[in-house]
């Protein structure tokens, strides 16, 4: 940004003006080579990259903007004094630099602290090599008191342990508040991060208990891993109760997956009939159940909100419980089939007999339907025959027709017609009798076959019946029918299902409903520290890349200027 040298560039008396007027130029000049009369204009350099400021007592280079920022000492609501290390990341967009300068000033414009000259060219050095006075003023006059007093005031509303436990909520609130406050200065607050909370000596034992690695054997470590827990944290003395809880959760997960071996193996055996295939498939299914259970437990964490009864939490919890419920049914059903195997086999045998009877009864039913059709025709012909007989007799008696007594030509015609109808009736009656004899014969054969089915399997295609009746789906259907017919089987069936549902969802419910203990707080602290370490590593790499890019661009400008 440029400003007339007669116009102060800091304090309450300032003006942001267009180019050519006295004051702070509203459009900053870009980095590069610019011919500027420094007797008329003052140059204030504002870096456009992100700047990281650490409030810590650790060693820092004197050329850094935060060299004078120290660890904050706070006093809690319960009277304890504790220390807090904070990191604030800021960024100043070029368009906002005039606003920032007008608020915080830059009294060292054109000085050696502001920039150094190389061959009459203003040379911004790489980050960390020089402190620009504009940023120095921003840190000393604004950020240091703002961030420090903000956390000092905030700490007075919390007990020290509550401050430690709610660090993430406090950090989120601080990010929002400080970002809002810095907007008035034209400064963007990229993030506010709580790094280390140094508890008083009398409270250190709560978070820095010695580990007891010798008491954790391989089985305990595996069970804790099965429960999705960090055994390094649970090895601490203060997490002893939590260790028992997660060991029980891990045992439940392991038992469920072990049960899945037999459940899946039996289900596959009913399908393929191969012991080897069922063993391999059962073990594979067990791994699937184990990993699903472990995933559900790992993802069952309460969100850090003011209330756990919020829509996202309820939706996520309901989904996890639904998956666990489905998983419990899948594991339980094959075991129920094995438990009621005798009853199911009896039911299937009955069904097979019914199928056999049905196959033998089909020809009889077909013949009966044909007899019904023939009987209808018989009734029709019988009625016509009786009518023709009456007409012929009336003609002979002279009461109808020609009215002449005797058996003349007309009578003979009517008699012949009546005899033809009678013959048709007799043929139909004979057909009915033949089919009735066939039915009697088929019934006798059916009874013989049903009395000795072993000797007639080929006739009934019994192998096909067995194949259709002994499959996994057929057994499920048989169990369902047994449950409908027998209340005792239905009740036992539901009790077994309820038992597996309870076993499956109990680890999730334990994690969701139990209060937060020492393990949860230590785990949150560890995860937060790992997150911040990774965040700062990435930011450092980005700043180095930006610095290298700026240096290359600057050297290119120098060469162009020299030419």
The model's pLDDT over 46-71, given as tens digits with 9 standing for 90+, comes to 888 888 899 998 887 766 788 889 99
Question: What topology does CATH give the domain 2-208+528-562?
Answer: Tetrahydropterin Synthase; Chain A (3.30.479)
Average pLDDT of the segment spanning 329-341: 80
Residue bearing the bigger pLDDT, 277 or 464? 277
Mean pLDDT of 194-222: 70
Phi-psi region of 264 (alpha: psi -120 to 50; beta: other; left: phi over 0): alpha
d(CA 290, CA 507): 13
Question: Per-residue pLDDT averaged across 520-526, rounded?
Answer: 78
| Upper half-sphere CA count for residue 11 (Cβ side, 13 Å) | 6
Contact in structure between 16 and 108 (CB atoms under 8 Å): no
**pLDDT single digits (tens) 495-509:** 888 887 887 777 777
DSSP string, 435-495: HHHHHHHHHHHHHHHHH-GGGGHHHHTHHHHHHHHSSHHHHHHHHHHHHHH-HHHHHHHHH
Domain definitions of the chain by residue range = 2-208+528-562, 215-339+494-515, 362-463
- The sign of the CA dihedral 328, 331, 336, 337 is positive
Residue 503 vs residue 91, higher pLDDT:
91
Q: Average pLDDT in the 38-44 region?
A: 78
DSSP letter, residue 79:
S
What pLDDT shows up at residue 215? 67
Cα–Cα distance for residue pair 515/255, rounded to 1 Å? 25
Burial class of residue 11 in the structure, from the number of CB atoms within 10 Å of its CB (0-12 exposed, 13-18 middle, 19+ buried): exposed
Locate 63 and state its tokens.
């050329």
For 12-38, the three-class secondary structure string (H helix, E strand, C coil) is CCCCEECCCCCCEECCCCCCCCCCCCC
- The model's confidence at residue 4, banded by pLDDT at 50, 70 and 90, is very low
pTM over 0.85: no
In this predicted structure, the answer to whether residue 234 has a pLDDT above a threshold of 90 is: no
pLDDT of res. 147: 93
433-489 pLDDT tens trace = 888 888 888 777 777 766 655 545 445 545 444 555 566 777 878 878 888 888 888
Q: Residue 274: CA atoms inside 13 Å, Cβ hemisphere, count?
A: 5
State how far the Cα of 507 lies from the Cα of 358, in Å rounded to an integer.
51
Q: What pLDDT score does 112 carry?
A: 40
The pLDDT score that the predictor gives to residue 146 is 93
Q: Please, what is the average pLDDT of the chain?
A: 76
- Cβ neighbours for 325, distance < 8 A, ≥ 6 positions apart: 501, 504, 505
> For 315-339, what is the mean pLDDT?
79
CA neighbor of 101 nearest in space, from 36, 35, 15, 178: 15
pLDDT at 381: 81
Q: What is the pLDDT of residue 350?
A: 76
């Amino acid at each position: 940004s440029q400003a007339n040298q007669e116009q102060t560039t800091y304090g309450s008396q300032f003006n942001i003006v267009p180019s050519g007027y006295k004051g702070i130029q509203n459009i900053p000049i870009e980095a590069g080579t610019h011919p500027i009369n420094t007797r008329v204009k003052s140059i204030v350099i504002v870096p456009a990259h992100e700047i990281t400021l650490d409030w810590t007592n650790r060693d820092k280079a004197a050329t850094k903007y935060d060299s004078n920022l120290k660890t904050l000492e706070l006093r809690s609501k319960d009277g304890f004094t504790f220390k807090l290390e904070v990191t604030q990341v800021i960024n100043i967009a070029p368009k906002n630099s005039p606003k920032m300068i007008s608020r915080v000033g830059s009294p060292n414009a054109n000085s050696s602290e502001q920039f150094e000259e190389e061959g009459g060219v203003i040379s911004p050095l790489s980050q960390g090599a020089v402190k620009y006075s504009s940023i120095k003023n921003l840190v000393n006059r604004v950020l240091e008191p703002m961030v420090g007093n903000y956390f000092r005031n905030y700490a007075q509303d919390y007990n020290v342990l509550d401050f430690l436990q709610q660090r993430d909520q406090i950090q989120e609130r601080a990010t929002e508040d400080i970002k809002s406050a810095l907007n008035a200065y034209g400064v963007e607050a990229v993030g506010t991060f709580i790094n280390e909370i140094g508890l008083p000596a009398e409270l250190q034992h709560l978070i820095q208990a010695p580990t007891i690695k010798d008491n954790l054997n391989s089985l305990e470590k595996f069970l804790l891993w099965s429960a999705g827990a960090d055994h390094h944290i649970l090895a601490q003395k203060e997490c002893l109760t939590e260790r028992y809880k997660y060991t029980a959760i891990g045992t439940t997960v392991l038992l469920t997956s072990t049960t899945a071996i037999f459940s899946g193996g039996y289900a596959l055996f009913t399908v393929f009939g191969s012991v080897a295939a069922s063993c391999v498939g059962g073990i594979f299914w067990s791994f699937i159940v184990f990993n699903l259970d472990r995933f559900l437990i790992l993802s069952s964490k309460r969100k850090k909100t003011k209330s756990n009864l919020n829509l996202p939490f309820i939706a996520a919890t309901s989904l996890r419980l639904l998956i666990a419920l489905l998983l419990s049914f899948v594991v339980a059903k094959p075991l129920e089939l094995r438990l009621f195997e005798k009853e199911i086999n009896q039911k299937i045998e009955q069904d097979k007999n019914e199928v056999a009877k049905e196959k033998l009864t089909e020809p009889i039913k077909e013949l009966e339907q044909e007899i019904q059709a023939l009987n209808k025709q018989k009734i029709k012909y019988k009625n016509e025959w009786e009518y023709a007989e009456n007409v012929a007799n009336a003609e002979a008696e002279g009461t109808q027709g020609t009215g002449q007594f005797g058996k003349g030509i007309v009578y003979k015609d009517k008699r012949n017609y009546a005899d033809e109808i009678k013959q048709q009736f007799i043929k139909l009656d004979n057909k009915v009798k033949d089919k009735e004899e066939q039915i009697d014969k088929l019934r006798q054969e059916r009874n013989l076959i049903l009395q000795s089915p072993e000797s007639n399997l080929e006739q009934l295609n019994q192998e096909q019946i067995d194949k259709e009746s002994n499959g996994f789906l057929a057994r499920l259907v048989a169990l369902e029918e047994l449950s409908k017919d027998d209340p005792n089987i239905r009740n036992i069936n539901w009790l077994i299902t309820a038992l597996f549902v309870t076993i499956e969802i109990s680890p999730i419910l334990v994690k969701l409903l139990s209060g937060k203990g020492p393990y949860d707080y230590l785990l949150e602290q560890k995860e937060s520290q790992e997150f911040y370490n990774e965040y700062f590593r990435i930011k450092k790499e980005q700043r180095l890349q930006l610095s290298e890019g700026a240096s290359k661009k600057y050297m290119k400008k120098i060469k162009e200027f020299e030419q």
